[in-house]
Each structure stands twice: as C-alpha cells, then as structure tokens.
Amino acid sequence: MKHLVIIGGGIAGITCLESYHYLKPNDKITLLSSSPLLKSIKQVNRLTKVLEEIQVEQVTIDEKIEKFTTNDDNNNITISISNVYKVDTVNQLIYSRSIDNNEEVESKIHYDYLCICTGAKPNIIPMKSN
C-alpha cells in the first residue's frame, strides 16, 4: 500500500484526491490544507466541443470527510487543516504545523508520492493611474 500526500485543498488538490482514490482505492491518502474550506467540482456541463461550464462548490473539511466515509469504506483517507512549511524530497518527508486546542502541533509525514497543489500567486500587472 502506497501513501500519497497532497498539499492544498483547492480544485487541483481535491481533484487529485478523488481521481487517485478512484484509481487506487486501497492506497493511503493524506491531504493537508492551510485553508479550512475545500473546493471541488460539483458539475461539468459541456457547452460546445471545446467549452465547458464548471460548477464549483466550497465545503468544510468535516463535510468532505463525511462524504467520503459515508460513500464507502474510506478509512485510508485523511484530510486535515495543516500548513506545510518544509518538504524533504531526499527522505520523502513533509513537515507541517496545525493548531490543536489552541496549541501549535508539528507533524512529520512520510510519503511515497507527493502532489503539490498550492495554487499560484496572482501576477498583478502594474498600471499607471491618472
């Protein structure tokens, strides 16, 4: 059994989790996200050959975990609010911090596969104002 760690709970991270779980239902998956709200695709409508309309929903971690645990036996999926601050690619370790009972907790997780889905920073184009 392999362990996939996903960093980020946006569209990319959740799609990675759902697709990987569909392909490898017995593998362990851990998703770490600094944001308490997760995004996922609710519905895809194909409008033309090249144009799709995508409906995105935002859910809490508890709602997402409930969806997974009620659908089938998904005890091998862990989703937690945690901020990753270091990735050791040589030893395949993830270092993260989370808050538990107002206390900062540090964690170290070993991964076999890693998917970094932390989004991007907007590139603000400088504009001259009059």
Residues at the contact surface with ligand FAD, assessed by CB under 6 A = 7-13, 32-35, 39, 83-84, 117-119
CB of 26 to ligand FAD, least distance (A): 25
Nearest to 31 by CA among 111, 90, 103: 111
In the complex with ligand FAD, which residue's Cβ is closer, 76 or 118?
Answer: 118
Taking the alpha carbons at both ends of the chain, their separation in whole angstroms is 61
In the complex with ligand FAD, which residue's Cβ is closer, 31 or 68?
Answer: 31
**Side-by-side strand order, sheet with 77-81:** 77-81, 28-33, 3-7, 113-116
In the complex with ligand FAD, which residue's Cβ is closer, 74 or 98?
Answer: 98
